[in-house]
Amino acid sequence: MSNNNLNNVIIIGGGIAAHTAAIYTARASLKPLVISAAEPDQLSLTTTVENWPGYVDGVQGPELIADSKKQAQKFGAEYISGQVNSVKKTEEGFDIIAGDKSFQTKTVIIATGASARRLNIPGEDQYFGRGVSTCAVCDAALFRDKDVVVVGGGDSAMEETLALYKFARSIKLIHRRDAFKASQIMRDRVLGLTDKVEILYSHQALEVLGDGKFVTGVKVKDLKNDKDYEIAVNGMFLAIGHTPNTKFLEGLVELDDQGYIVTDKRSRTSVEGIYAAGDVQDPIFRQAITSAGAGCQAALEAERHIENRQ
């Protein structure tokens, strides 16, 4: 099947960056088409968001996403479900293949996000958002005076631990090796927090335990003596990295060595007419508010590009 109508802008993604870009381009009368995959975005897997401006008591992640989508639709954005397989440059702009359908567009905004790596252990999915988290900056305040574990050994794990240190009662940092791979400065910061942080080298998380509602513990293995035991905690933070959802873009736009889209300060990629916003191009902050800001930038740049073509 083929859609021969040339869209002004197609936005690929379903998170806050995509919805923000849709709101801005729709208000500019560009009639954006948003193609969203079935996989939920990070915010839709988050419970209370306390750092989004304007919500004194916080807002539920799924609610924020749903309301943002409705707002974009109010101004004329069209949404369809689909998995984008490829984006190709054409004389008029770009050809986007999603399933068995082809869509033509003058500009593209990529907001496909990055997927947090999981352990794929029992209980992990069941308690995700109910004690299992991949973002301490987002959720640390929810664990004030509670006991948590952090899984990982790189800079991300150190950053998660430092964010949790301000709130949690105790933190057990689980790493499967006998030494961290994090940078020296980050290691030193965490290793100095002996009042709250306990390091469990050569340990592996085996299972997330819970009472049916929330996390109550984690089953771990001591790899040196091959013994399993349980740790009573209220939360588990996964800090084993993210994978940007950019496989369908290989060979089209410039990616860094981790697969993130390289953009300038105006959300422009290496290809004129293609813009990127959110976690797909931001391995550092990964916050809802920064993703929304980048979505705004990408939308405004796409609008300028279209105006300059006319």
Tell me the domains of the chain and their CATH numbers: 2-115+242-309 (3.50.50.60), 118-238 (3.50.50.60)
pLDDT digits (tens, 9 = 90+) for 145-180: 999 999 999 988 998 999 999 999 999 999 999 999
Q: Is 296 part of the annotated catalytic residue set?
A: no
Question: Averaged over 169-192, what is the pLDDT?
Answer: 94
CA distance to 125, 135, 142, 224, 238, per residue, from 129 (Å): 9, 10, 11, 31, 12
Beta bridge partners of 222: 203, 227
pLDDT digits (tens, 9 = 90+) for 87-111: 999 999 999 999 999 999 999 999 9
CA distance to 66, 95, 136, 187, 264, per residue, from 270 (Å): 32, 17, 32, 35, 9
Antiparallel, parallel or unpaired: β 132-133 and 147-151: unpaired
Amino acid of residue 38: A
- Catalytic residue, candidates 41, 57, 67, 139: 139
What integer pLDDT is reported at residue 2 of this predicted model? 44
Look-up: residue for tokens 């080298």? 201
pLDDT digits (tens, 9 = 90+) for 39-63: 777 787 677 788 899 999 999 989 9
- Catalytic residue, candidates 41, 138, 279, 282: 138
The pTM (predicted TM-score) of the whole model is 0.79
- Catalytic residue, candidates 135, 147, 188, 296: 135
Question: Is residue 302 within a helix (H) or strand (E), and if so which, with residue range?
Answer: helix 288-309
Q: Is 139 part of the annotated catalytic residue set?
A: yes
What integer pLDDT is reported at residue 4 of this predicted model? 56
